Amino acid sequence: MSDQFAQQDPTAQHAAPGSGDQTVEHPGRTDDMDVRPDHGEETYRGSGRLEGKKAVITGGDSGIGRAVAIAFAREGADVLLTHLDAEKDDADETARWVREAGRTAVTVAADLTEPRSCRDVVERAVRELGRIDVLVSNAAYQMSQDNGIDDITDEQFDRVMKTNVYAMFWLCKAAVPHMRPGSTVITTSSVQAFQPSPHLLDYATSKAAIVNFTKGLGGNLAERGIRANSVAPGPVWTPLIPATMDEKKLDSFGAQSPMGRAAQPAELAPIYVFLASQESSYMTSEVLGVTGGSPIT
């Protein structure tokens, strides 16, 4: 059992990231953050729930992706994780934690806005891991715009949709033929799909598309014995946040949730483990909110 599950006051379990100049250059590196996220490096304890499984995690270099990779490895899974070229150092650090758990780690630099790149990721996973049991479509792009639609360029909208929605489609289409009954697809949506912030209009739209796609995909794949579910996080402290928001928004990041704080990536990982394991065998087309109390209805 993970130390993080010891009884604590959830509103005080993790401190707020704090104020001050914490902005970093996009796409954001963990080492550049003044307040480093908790990925469960020192707390997550596995119990063999994913023993022998082969997982692909996009955006696995940092944030939620790193926390999921560490948890999956400690539960017995081998992991292929994708990252951008600029995130190689973070990806190598995640891979180090996976290997310390005694599992195989494969890192792949990939531009997921290109369909060929998505297919290459799947082919690499099949070649190096032998198969795909769990596909975690987690990589995402956002850029906050104070004036909403007035400031969203065609180029930004295109990048958001290709990274968050198109890549998910391309990855699923390529991976499903290699997945056996009992395999799972897990997408990362967001509370933004249900409670959109005006300054994240295009990002919120993409997350709503992910919810709809995942629900439909679950029904589409049910007869093949493959499940598809989504995790909808609230505010989570990852490198993407200081890389895409101004100092004013960072000062209050997470304060809008009923718990009054942002989540740490380590608090998300157990939900992905649950959806990847047989413990959730009768669940498909579901969206699990991890929002600190904000509604996803």
Q: Most confidently modeled of 122-126, 141-145, 241-245?
A: 122-126
> Looking at 137-141, 160-164, 246-250, 256-260, which range is the least confident one?
246-250
Report the predicted TM-score, pTM, of the whole model to 2 decimal places: 0.90
Residues in the chain, total: 297
In terms of DSSP H, where are the helices of the chain?
63-74, 88-100, 115-129, 154-161, 167-175, 201-221, 240-244, 247-251, 269-276
Of 113, 116, 98, residue with least CA distance to 53: 98
Of 223, 186, 207, residue with least CA distance to 55: 186
Task: Compute the radius of gyration of the chain from its Cα atoms.
Answer: 18
Query: Cα torsion for 199, 203, 204, 206, to the nearest 10°?
Result: 160
* Structure token digits, residue 79: 């992991």
Judge residue 127's burial from the number of C-beta atoms within 10 Å of its C-beta, 0-12 exposed, 13-18 middle, 19 or more buried.
exposed
Residues classed as catalytic: 203
Going along the chain from its start, the domains and CATH numbers come out as: 26-290 (3.40.50.720)
Which one-letter amino acid corresponds to residue 153?
Answer: T
**What is the band of 18 on the pLDDT scale with cuts at 50, 70, 90?**
low
**What is the band of 23 on the pLDDT scale with cuts at 50, 70, 90?**
low
What is the DSSP code (8-state) at residue 180? P
Residues 6+ apart with CB under 8 A from 63: 37, 39, 236, 238, 239, 240, 265
Mean pLDDT of 277-287: 98
More confident residue, 235 or 282: 282
